[in-house]
Chain A
Amino acid sequence: MMQLNGAQLMVRLLERQGVRTIAGIPGGAILPFYDALSGSDTIRHVLARHEQGAGFMAQGMARVSGVPQVCIASSGPGATNLVTAIADACLDSIPMVVITGQVPQAMIGTDAFQEVDIYGITVPITKHNFLVRSAQELLEVVPDAFRIAMSGRPGPVLIDVPKDVQNQLITIDEGELPAPAVADPAPQLDMAALEAAAHMINAAEQPVLYLGGGVVASGAAPLAVQLAEQAGLPTTMTLMGLGAMPIDHPLSIGMLGMHGARYTNFVLEESDLLIVVGARFDDRAIGRATQFCPNAKIVHIDIDASELHKIKSAHVALHANVKCALEALLPRVQAKPRERWLAQVESLRSRFPMQFPGQDDPRSHYGLIHAVASALDDEAIVATDVGQHQMWVAQAYPFRRPRQWLTSGGLGTMGFGLPTAIGAALAEPDRTVVCFTGDGSFKMNIQELATLAEEGLNVKIVLMNNNALGLVYQQQTLFYGKRLFASRYRTEPDFVKIAEGFGVPAVDLDKAEDPRAALAEALHAPGPCLIHATIDREQFVYPMVPPGAANTEMIGG
């Protein structure tokens, strides 16, 4: 028999679950947990500088590992600061267990100091959440939280633990500790629907394979590529699906949607069958839903039953783990070269290709991305913030493997990049992690430079600086009669000095005689580095599907 308090029990359960790194910030209501954590030999704590940073560090670890990761904060403002990172994880289906301290149970509901109803606040942005009422409950709640986070469609789970529960003593036998959580079994495959899907694929003349983040999440990317090759399927990827098929694979037609290539959206327009795998018909991907792929029937495979028929009615809907479904589908799909259709795709590709003006000039936006990619191999991890730079990287970086690409897709959170890149580097310390960012996004979690310096991680921040909220500037220019308002900054910080002030080395490509060489040198030096590059504010993200338009009505590009 052993006697533990609730906090020590939580640490034991996290250790047994295999958690090795936790990002967080301590505060009054979570101090018993921190006291217990200080006694752990196996769990390393990374001290963030803002709780949102801790949330995105956990996301970064989860996005590269696929395993639920943990962040932690105190009650009140500590907990509310996590909200954006939780919502972001929810929209991008990232497995995460969030632990927050809460005021003692006797004070809940009294507007006590640093009391906030984080349970109530996080109801719509978590898969599930818990307010723990006794140390005994932790024995069920902690493994349940991990099980829920990793089962089915992954997502964030919050555990709110009042301080008295952390301090409550519990006597248990070692053998009473619950086993580490495992994911629930995948749903039973609907074989009739599977046969129908195979029949539709075999019968289609002009099919397109449409891969989303679910393909990456379920580890099904090699199977998806195999299906495409076997059935001769041109393959598009959503923003979240990038990396599922190497971008230079002959069957890849790149990213679809608002900033996809013209030919990609035209190929989709001409398709007679969409095979949608682990994707949810997001509005940025499909434009106006009623006008998306008007001639196509739809086979939709997703682990989340509520995504089926939500935006587009599917002719065959398969509620399934994507990997299981593709495994079962492959032997039922005929090998077909589809020469006529692929020739038509090639014709569209050559007539309406993706254009990368300035690709050879490392002082231009596409040229900078190209130069970074040229200096690295596919082992590097690429994170972005949100805005123009994010779309340019999505368009131009040659993603060739799943989990190579970390971006805030659903929520579109500026400030995502730096802490997520730190998390990725914590999980995979041997890889180079590049964080493309813009000056607007960078300032939203710039304090994490301190964490980066402290941990000495191999994160290279490529700051594309146009001293503006570029995507706002672009949209005001294009759609609001050039009435530019609140989109340009009137002062410009010295980012090189800021980085150096935090203890992060910095390189200014603006001042480099040979920017390509300076860039390569910075990328290959071990440890953190800020790489600053001014870019032209008048360069916009093209092509672009204007608001409310169909995907075929692109402007520019």
Chain B
Amino acid sequence: MIEQVADPMPQAGIAKVVLELDVNNHPGVMSHICNLFARRAFNVEGILCMPVSDGKRSRIWLLVFEDHRLEQMIRQLEKLEDVLNVRRHGAEHEVFERLEGFFH
């Protein structure tokens, strides 16, 4: 009703960040994670997900731009019941680089 007035958001940075998530492996986990980013209009540049060990867990790799909201995003991810832990890597992480061949 009354417009919510917030101060303008700083522009997203250009540095990339790679997030590594250990998660439970069942249908719906991906939607919980993607929803967190989507509803905050936070674009995910790259996603990679594969099961690990006995298939009860998965590892998800996310490629995102550095942004002042990133710390908040990580805290939100850590709150998800199916997210077991979150690790943050710099852009030098090679997981997405090694996939480049499939996209060019």
Interface residues of A (CB under 8 A from B): 119-120, 123-124, 127-129, 131, 148, 283, 288-290, 304-306, 309-310, 471-472, 475, 479, 547-548
B36 to chain A, nearest CB (A): 8
- In whole angstroms, how far apart are the Cα atoms of A124 and B80 in the complex? 11
Q: Are A547's CB and B75's CB within 8 A?
A: no
Partner of A127, one of B4, B7, B81: B81
Can you offer 28 A-B residue contacts whose CB atoms are under 8 A? A120-B31, A123-B28, A123-B31, A123-B32, A123-B35, A127-B81, A128-B81, A128-B82, A129-B28, A131-B27, A131-B28, A148-B81, A283-B6, A288-B7, A289-B6, A289-B7, A305-B78, A305-B79, A306-B72, A306-B79, A309-B72, A471-B1, A472-B1, A475-B1, A475-B2, A547-B2, A547-B5, A548-B3
Which residue of chain A has its CB nearest to the CB of B36? A124
> In this assembly, does B92 line the interface, its C-beta being within 8 Å of a C-beta of chain A?
no
Question: Considering only CB atoms and an 8 Å cut-off, how many residues of chain B contact the other chain?
Answer: 22
Partner of A305, one of B5, B7, B28, B75: B75
- Supposing A124-B35, A305-B78, A548-B3 touch, asked if A310 and B72 sit within 8 A by C-beta, the answer is yes
- Supposing A120-B31, A123-B31, A289-B7 touch, asked if A306 and B76 sit within 8 A by C-beta, the answer is yes
- In whole angstroms, how far apart are the Cα atoms of A169 and B15 in the complex? 55
B35 to chain A, nearest CB (A): 5
Chain B contacts of A472 at CB under 8 A? Answer: 1
Q: Are A124's CB and B39's CB within 8 A?
A: yes
Which among A120, A129, A306 has the greatest number of chain B C-beta atoms within 10 A? Answer: A306
Which residue of chain B has its CB nearest to the CB of A305? B75
> In this assembly, does B71 line the interface, its C-beta being within 8 Å of a C-beta of chain A?
yes
B76 to chain A, nearest CB (A): 5
- Supposing A123-B35, A472-B1 touch, asked if A290 and B7 sit within 8 A by C-beta, the answer is yes
Q: Give the A-B pair count, Cβ closer than 8 A.
A: 45
Chain B contacts of A131 at CB under 8 A? Answer: 27-28
- In whole angstroms, how far apart are the Cα atoms of A305 and B49 in the complex? 26
A193 to chain B, nearest CB (A): 16
Chain B contacts of A548 at CB under 8 A? Answer: 3, 5
- In whole angstroms, how far apart are the Cα atoms of A456 and B83 in the complex? 46
- In whole angstroms, how far apart are the Cα atoms of A499 and B5 in the complex? 41
- In whole angstroms, how far apart are the Cα atoms of A489 and B82 in the complex? 48
Which residue of chain A has its CB nearest to the CB of B2? A547
Which residue of chain B has its CB nearest to the CB of A283? B4
Partner of B5, one of A124, A288, A471, A475: A288
- In whole angstroms, how far apart are the Cα atoms of A323 and B7 in the complex? 34
- In whole angstroms, how far apart are the Cα atoms of A306 and B70 in the complex? 11
B45 to chain A, nearest CB (A): 22
Partner of B71, one of A124, A288, A289, A309: A309
Chain B contacts of A310 at CB under 8 A? Answer: 72
Which among B31, B35, B75, B78 has the greatest number of chain A C-beta atoms within 10 A? Answer: B75
Q: Are B79's CB and A304's CB within 8 A?
A: yes
Chain B contacts of A283 at CB under 8 A? Answer: 4, 6
Chain B contacts of A304 at CB under 8 A? Answer: 79
Chain A contacts of B71 at CB under 8 A? Answer: 309
Which residue of chain B has its CB nearest to the CB of A547? B2
Produce 1/0 per residue, B88-100, CB < 8 A to A: 0000000000000
Chain A contacts of B1 at CB under 8 A? Answer: 471-472, 475
Which residue of chain A has its CB nearest to the CB of B35? A123
- In whole angstroms, how far apart are the Cα atoms of A257 and B72 in the complex? 24
